[in-house]
Amino acid sequence: MTEWLAFWNRPNRIFVNECHRRLHFARIADDILALLPKPGMNVLDYGCGEALDAARVADRCARLWLCEDAATVRAGLARRFADHPVVRVTDGRGVGSLAPNTLDVVIVNSVVQYLPAAEFDRLLHLWYDRLKPDGLLVLGDIVPPSNGLARDALSLLRLAGREGFLVPAISNLIATCFSTYARLRNKYGLSSYSKVEMIARLRACGFHAEQCPNLGFNSGRMAFLARPAPRKSP
C-alpha cells in the first residue's frame, strides 16, 4: 500500500495523453451522477484522484468530500476547490473524523485493487458507520481473478481506437511494460475478487450487495452497489 501511494504521488503513465485523461474523468463523473438518486445529498468520493469533473458532481450535492491520500494530488485538489461552497478536500483521516450517519453515498472507484484485504475490511466498517441507514456504497473497478494486464491493455486499445489516440496508446503500453507501474503490479499484484467473494465480504461487513455495470470504460472489471443491512438496536 505504501509503495502504491508513492506511485500515485509522482507523475506516471497511467493516462496516455490529455485526451485520455479528460475522457476518463468525464466518464467517471457521468457514472457517479447516474447513481445519485436525488439532488442535495452528502457524497464522499474516496480515492478520487484528480477528479477533473468533480464540479459537475458537486452541482447535485449538498456536500461533496473528495478524499485523496496522495499528498501531491490532494494539494492540487485543495487549490482547485479552495473557494468552492460544496466541495471539501480531505484524506482518509478526515473521513474517519466524520460523524456517524453523515453520508448518503460513498463512491470508491479504482481503489480496492490496491488495498490489502485487512485494510479493505477496515474501510468497509468505516464506510458502513459513516453512511446513513438508507445510504449507498458504490465499489467500482473491482478486478476479477481472471483479469490481467492483457485484458486491461485490450480495453485501453478499444477506447483509443474509438477516440482517435490509438498510436499514442500503443506507444504508452510499450513504455508501461518497463515502468514503475509494471514493477509494482508484478511485485504485489492487484487485489482481486470474484462476484461471489465480493458479495460475501460485503455481507460480512454489514451490507446487502448486488453487481452493477462498472464505472468507467473497462467493462472487464466489476462494480457493486451495497446498502447497509438493518442495524441492530443497542
pLDDT tens column, 39-56: 999 999 999 999 999 999
Instruction: Place 33 in a pLDDT band, splitting at 50, 70 and 90.
Output: very high
Report whether 107 contacts 46 (CB < 8 A).
Answer: yes
Q: Alpha-carbon distance 213 to 208, whole Å?
A: 17
Please report the pLDDT score of residue 234 as a whole number. Answer: 52
Annotate 96-123 with b (16+ C-beta within 10 A) or e (fewer). eebeebbbbbbbbbbbbbbbeeeebeeb
Give residue-wise pLDDT tens across range 175-196.
888 788 888 888 878 999 999 9
- Name the more confident of 197 and 151: 197
What residue ranges do the domains of the chain occupy? 2-145+190-228
Superfamily of domain 2-145+190-228: Vaccinia Virus protein VP39 (3.40.50.150)
Distance between CA 102 and CA 100 in Å, rounded? 6
Q: How far apart are alpha carbons 172 and 228 in whole angstroms? A: 41
Percent of the chain, pLDDT > 70? 98
Through-space distance between the first and last CA atoms of the chain, rounded to whole angstroms: 35
Confidence at 210, pLDDT banded by 50, 70, 90: very high
101-158 pLDDT tens trace:
999 999 999 999 999 999 999 999 999 999 999 999 999 999 999 877 788 899 999 9
CA distances from 231 to 108, 208, 226, 227 (A): 22, 12, 14, 11
Q: What is the mean pLDDT of residues 47-75?
A: 97
